[in-house]
Structure 1
Amino acid sequence: MREISLKDARTTLSALLDQVVAGEPAAITRRGRKQAVILSFQDYEKLARVPNIGQLLAAFPGDEDDLPPRLIRSVRKPEP
């Protein structure tokens, strides 16, 4: 992903937009830190359609009993 300063993005907005529409998103930086991303509307629509975990769980066609039991394991190291 290309990085461009806010100052340069302002002066080359038309060319930047052409590159973004062609499939090359750009990160806009301010004082050397990434502040925003510009991407094509098509890429934005793809991201907007990605369901979150709540939507995925709500769409599950089965019952709770259809889910396999979780495997529980300790996160602690076994003591010698």
Structure 2
Amino acid sequence: MKTMQLREAKAGLSALVDAAENGEPTIITRHGKPAAAIVSMDDVRKLHPDKKPNFGEFLLTYPGGIELERNPSSLRDVDL
């Protein structure tokens, strides 16, 4: 993995994007400290998948399981 200063990355951004598409990520540093990385979209999709579970799927992932029972008693009478 290459490391490059921000000012160098600005000058050669097209080359960095081409390298990322070919599977060669680059770390960009600012003042000598890692600040960002240029990676391929395939790597981004692995880290942040687009599909998010809906609320029902989320509840079903509960490790204890969910047991729902309907109360068989009759409804109470309401005077209108």
With the shorter chain as reference, the TM-score category is: 0.5 to 0.7
> How far is 1:42 from its partner?
1.5
Aligned-pair CA distance for 1:59 = 4.7
Q: Give unmatched runs, 5+ long, in structure 2.
A: 50-57, 67-80
- Output the TM-score relative to the length of structure 2: 0.61
Which residue of structure 2 lines up, in the alignment, with residue 25 of structure 1?
25
Q: Tell me the percent identity.
A: 39
Secondary structure, aligned partner of 1:63 = coil
- The structure where helix makes up a greater share of residues is 1
How many residue pairs match? The answer is 61
Structure 1 runs (4+) greater than 3 angstroms displaced: 57-62
Q: TM-score normalised to the size of structure 1? A: 0.61
Structure 1 residue ranges without an equivalent (≥5): 50-56, 65-80
RMSD, aligned CA: 2.8
- Does the residue aligned with 2:37 lie in a helix, a strand or coil? strand
Structure of greater Rg:
2
Name the CA distance, whole Å, in 2 between partners of 1:59 and 1:28.
41
